Amino acid sequence: MIRRRTLVLGALAAAVVGAVSLRRLRGRRRRPRTPGEIEADLREYYAFLRFDDEVMAAFLRDLERLPQPLRRGDLRRRFLLSTDFFTNGEDESRPLRYRAFCDPYLSPCYRPFA
């Protein structure tokens, strides 16, 4: 009797955990894959900044050279670090210019916050 009750409670707990994890997976937005989706995501996230199409094209061109895709947060951070935003005092009123693709493994000495 106790063994049966334990098995039933264990199965019920496993079903609840499975349902919760499925709900979390369905609620997540998938990360952008194509260059058009990446560009739309970055333009939406940084709508308060001004930058030309050339800046975005240069970033996407350098991004394609990476062996594996980046997560959304890493993409956003890497885009801002690849521009002159931090080196010019984080001035939101001036348009961004593309400097170089920020990759800490290729250029570990680049420190825009210094």
Task: Express each pLDDT in 45-71 by its tens digit.
Answer: 999 988 888 989 998 998 888 877 777
Given this model, what pLDDT does residue 114 score?
57
Tell me how far the alpha carbon of residue 33 is from its chain's centroid.
Answer: 11
Whether 28 has a pLDDT exceeding 60, the answer reads: no
Q: Would you say the pTM of this structure is higher than 0.85?
A: no
- The residues pairing with 98 across neighbouring beta strands, listed in sequence order, are 83
User: Are the C-beta atoms of residues 96 and 83 closer than 8 Å to each other?
Assistant: yes
Mean pLDDT of 84-106: 83
Whether 41 has a pLDDT exceeding 80, the answer reads: yes
Closest CA to 99 of 54, 67, 68, 64: 54
Whether 29 has a pLDDT exceeding 60, the answer reads: no
- The mean pLDDT of the chain is 78
Given this model, what pLDDT does residue 22 score?
63
**For the chain, which residues make up each domain, given as ranges?**
1-30, 32-114
Q: 51-65 burial, b if ≥16 CB within 10 A, otherwise e? A: beeebbebbbebbee
